[in-house]
């Protein structure tokens, strides 16, 4: 398959540029994003020094590909001696703090897979409590490795993707709160990528949401 990389110095967001290009297997990379968004339209601070990019894919299942992307990011970071874990649904944690995030967005017939990784960029004081960076990793080395792994991961069968995700996650078995209203034990994920939450014996099937750990 292979990916074609288009590099920009400064954009509003790589997702927005991807929507204008819409060509399968093209990767939009930017040094700086001025108006990047994460899930639910939240601002994603994207200054110089981080790795910010969007992969344009076609005919893919959004939630399963998000899981595969998380696995790819963790595998790439582990290859560079970073002990990373996946927090459901799409955060990559290092020492318990968010170092990377993933946003999968359906746009027409395409899936836009946005990935942001904090590397040499500074972390604002107001989010240092729960965010971190990886200043010793060079994005010029990380990006090709990550894309190579991602290409392999998204070709795998759904069952294999889910199995890989389970191997690298840090969510299952913990007491969590979803969207500040649904509390329970994160029991498993099903074959569609939904989180199965055990709420005092009643099982809830959660497609997406903001997850907070309640057990430290």
Distance, CA of 182 to CA of 132 (rounded, Å): 27
Q: What is the CATH number of the domain that holds 207?
A: 2.30.30
Same domain, 148 and 209: no
Q: Provide the 8-state DSSP code for 25.
A: T
**Claim to verify: residue 58 and residue 163 sit in the same structural domain:** yes
| Under 8 Å between Cβ of 187 and 175 | no
Tokens 């894309």 label which residue?
147
One pLDDT digit (tens) per residue for the chain, 216 residues: 689 999 999 999 999 999 999 999 999 999 999 987 766 556 677 999 999 999 999 967 888 999 999 999 999 999 999 999 999 988 999 999 999 999 999 999 999 999 999 999 999 999 999 999 999 999 999 999 999 999 999 999 999 999 999 999 999 999 999 999 999 999 999 988 899 999 999 999 998 889 999 987
Task: State the first-to-last Cα distance of the chain, in angstroms, to the nearest integer.
Answer: 42
What is the count of structural domains for the chain? 2
Report how far residue 176's alpha carbon sits from residue 192's, in angstroms, rounded to the nearest whole number: 20
Q: Are 165 and 157 in contact (CB under 8 A)?
A: no
19 and 119 belong to one structural domain: yes
Beta partners for 30? 8, 52
This prediction has a pTM of 0.94
Q: Which domain covers residue 201, as residue numbers?
A: 175-213
């Amino acid at each position: 398959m292979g990916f074609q990389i288009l590099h920009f110095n400064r954009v509003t967001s790589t997702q927005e540029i991807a929507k204008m290009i819409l060509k399968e297997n093209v990767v939009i990379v930017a040094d700086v994003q001025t108006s990047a968004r994460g899930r639910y339209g939240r601002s994603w601070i994207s200054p110089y020094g981080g790795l910010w990019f969007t992969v344009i894919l076609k005919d893919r299942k959004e939630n399963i590909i998000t899981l595969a992307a998380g696995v790819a990011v963790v595998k790439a970071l582990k290859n560079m001696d970073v002990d990373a874990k996946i927090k459901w649904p799409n955060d990559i944690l290092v020492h318990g703090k968010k170092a990377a995030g993933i946003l999968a967005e359906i746009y027409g017939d395409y899936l836009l897979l946005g990935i942001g990784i904090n590397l040499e960029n500074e972390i604002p004081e107001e989010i240092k409590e729960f965010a971190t960076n990886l200043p010793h990793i060079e994005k010029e080395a990380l990006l090709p490795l990550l894309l190579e792994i991602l290409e392999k991961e998204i070709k795998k069968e759904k069952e294999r993707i889910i199995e890989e995700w389970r191997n690298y996650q840090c969510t299952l078995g913990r007491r969590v709160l979803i969207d500040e209203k649904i509390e329970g034990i994160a029991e498993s994920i099903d074959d569609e990528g939904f989180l199965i939450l055990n709420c005092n014996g009643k099982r809830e099937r959660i497609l997406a949401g903001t997850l907070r750990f309640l057990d430290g």
